[in-house]
Structure 1
Amino acid sequence: MKKTHQFLVILVLLFSFGNAKAQVAKETISIVLLAGQSNMAGAGDFTALDAAVKERLYKVKDRVQISNAGKTPTPLSFYLSKGHKTKYGFEEAFGPELMIGTVLAEKFPKEKFLLIKTAQGGTALYGAWNPDWTAEKTDEVEAEGFKRDLKLYANFIDDVKQNIKRIESQGNTYKIIGMGWMQGENDAAKEVSALSYETNLVNLINRVRTDLNVKDMPFVLGQINSHYGNFPAGPETVRTAQLNSNKLLKKVVTIKTIADKPFDDYPKHSDNVHYNAEGQYRLGNAFAEALLKLQ
């Protein structure tokens, strides 16, 4: 009888220890959502960054991971781009996520972060990014080829939910602390998409918040300043719509940009479309600071 009692005591102690260990191991992962087109994908040259900036990244990268286009999360760093190698002469590229993750991790040194990013160059909110996707709308604005079959919003939401499942399967919890949106250049290129951008942007923000069940989720967007397409009024129409979204919805902030070159605020490559290393560095910082103010 005594041995049985001792055995039961040992079992209770082992269970208590195991349960306590499980509780200690449980973490809350702060999630930041990132989406858009080529300037969210990023054409910043990682090799051109100052050593001090890279050192900041290396100090926090064990606490910041990124899931890009549905891939398994990896430590925050550059990504490889053969296209940028051909066009700009470098392969190690980055977007605003680099400084968003770095600044947030520095601000909250005890927290872990997951950035979930989906970005596809040359796509419109009217078409491929539309939460209410239709083949007809996509055909109106997207270039012929694979982009007309893309359902980017649905893919993005699916990526987010898959990452959430992964977090929960590891015994952890999560909180979505905000979203960054860098998009609109292609909508500005055509009249039908430019004139409806405000309505489509408000719909996007409301749908993300609803579909992920995060009421008034902080939403930060970068104001476009590209000039291409066949609708001259397009860029200013979209820029105005992006500012108007701040008045129409709570916790929405637009990072303002200079409308015309030489784009001294957020420098670009010679194509005057894509932000270079300094431009992406500044853009990422601006996104991070705006997200912090909205918390």
Structure 2
Amino acid sequence: MQRVLIQNTISLSLKKMIGTKANKILCIVFIVTILTTQAQTDYKADVHLVLLAGQSNMVGAGNYDELSSVDKKRIENISDRVFLSYNGKALKPLSYFNNKPSKKYNFTKRFGPELFIGLTLAEANPNQKYVLVKRALGGTSLYGAWSPEWSAEKSNAVEMDAQRKKIKLYELHLKDIHKTLEQLKSQGKSFKIIGLTWMQGEKDTNSELAAKNYRENLENLINHYRKDLNTSKLPFIIGQVNVLPRKYKPGVDFIRNAQIEVGSLDERNTMIKTSKESPWNDFPKHLDNTHYNTIGQKRLGEAFAKSLIEKIKLN
């Protein structure tokens, strides 16, 4: 309806204004202004949704207690308008999640990139509300558990245990997203999905089969998200993996190069570049040389958010 009214306005104005050269110039300026206003109006929504998906570095191993008091206050200040649904759980204000202390991660308050994605976006847009919908499970493959065309055969070929061999993460993420959208609809809120952040691939580096098919599988994943969510212009932000080589030595290069290629396929894709080798000064890690530590997770979230801000300008 709004588009029709704008088109009618433009049509009537054209008839009135076209005549002299000066009026033609004014007419062009008028049309550009109207179309710009239309684009801005179409983009406005009560809630902006950000989708997060991946494996262990998307789960996150940041220690909330290591954050500065300034960062904690910043998060507290925006928590009334940034909400998170994690692995199908109910929406809650953006914050840490509970961690069972272990020898590897001996702390109780844990976070992933969502914390600084939400914070960075919210501070950049002080009047906007956000909902983040995250689905992540460590040690899972795009070839298997994350495949939109999941099969037991593919999953059994690459996944490491009974849980991961059976789980269908893409399907579950879609359910999470639609559940959230229905909740927003029931509250009478308008919404827009503004992008997806993807931090995954470490598992696929370990298998020749998964690594050599990663580029095709990542393209397929992006196409499925855009089609299944009816968002053909969905920005897709890829975090480049930088795990050390394991069983299949060339796997890291296969995945990193595939992510570079897919990240440049169209203007709404992009990739966050990471250093390939230790000491990981760009995104610091824990001593396992695999998982980002508190600083690494903070920087990863900020990098995802800044890329999203750039990409959503294209819509």
Please indicate, yes or no, whether the TM-score normalized by the shorter chain is above 0.5: yes
Tell me by how many angstroms 1:235 deviates: 0.5
Which residue of structure 2 lines up, in the alignment, with residue 101 of structure 1?
118
In the aligned structure 2, how far is the partner of 1:156 from the partner of 1:207?
Answer: 12
Aligned-partner residue type, residue 275 of structure 1: Y
TM-score (norm 2): 0.84
Task: Give matches, 1:143-222, under 5 Å.
Answer: 143-222=160-239
Amino acid at match of 2:58: M
Contact 2:55 2:140 in 1 (8 A): yes
Report the counterpart of residue 12 of structure 1 in structure 2: none
Q: How many residues align?
A: 268
Q: Counterpart in 1 of 2:49?
A: 31
- 1:243 and 2:263 correspond: no
- For 1:116, the aligned partner's letter is V
> Contact 2:83–2:130 at 8 Å: present in 1 too?
yes
> Which residue identity does 2:143 align to in structure 1?
Y
Question: Following TM superposition, by how much is the alpha carbon of 1:228 offset from its aligned partner in structure 2, in angstroms?
Answer: 4.3
The question of 1:289 aligning with 2:306 is answered: yes
Letter in 2 for 1:72: A
Aligned to 2:274: 257
Query: What residue in structure 1 maps to residue 146 of structure 2?
Result: 129
- Alpha carbon RMSD of aligned pairs, Å? 1.0
TM-score relative to the length of structure 1: 0.89
AA at the equivalent of 1:45 = N
Aligned to 1:44: 62
Question: Is the 8 Å Cα contact of residues 190 and 229 (structure 1) preserved in structure 2?
Answer: no
Selected match of 1:55 from 73, 80, 93: 73
* Aligned AA (1:199): E
Q: Percent identity among equivalent residues?
A: 45
Unaligned 5+ segments in structure 1 are 1-26
User: What is the aligned partner in structure 1 of residue 12 from structure 2?
Assistant: none
Residue 143 of structure 1 aligns with an amino acid whose one-letter code is: M
- Which ranges of structure 2 fall in alignment gaps of 5 or more residues? 1-44
CA shift, 1:55, in A, is: 1.1
Asked if the contact 1:85–1:91 (Cα under 8 Å) also holds between the matched residues in 2, the reply is no
By how many angstroms is 1:249 displaced? Answer: 3.0
State the alpha-carbon separation in 2 of the partners of residues 38 and 46 from structure 1: 17
Give the conservation status (yes or no) of the 8 Å contact 1:127–1:133: yes
What CA distance in whole angstroms lies between the structure 1 residues aligned with 2:93 and 2:238? 24
d(CA) in 2 for partners of 1:123, 1:49? 28
Paired letter, 1:112? K
Shift of 1:86: 3.9
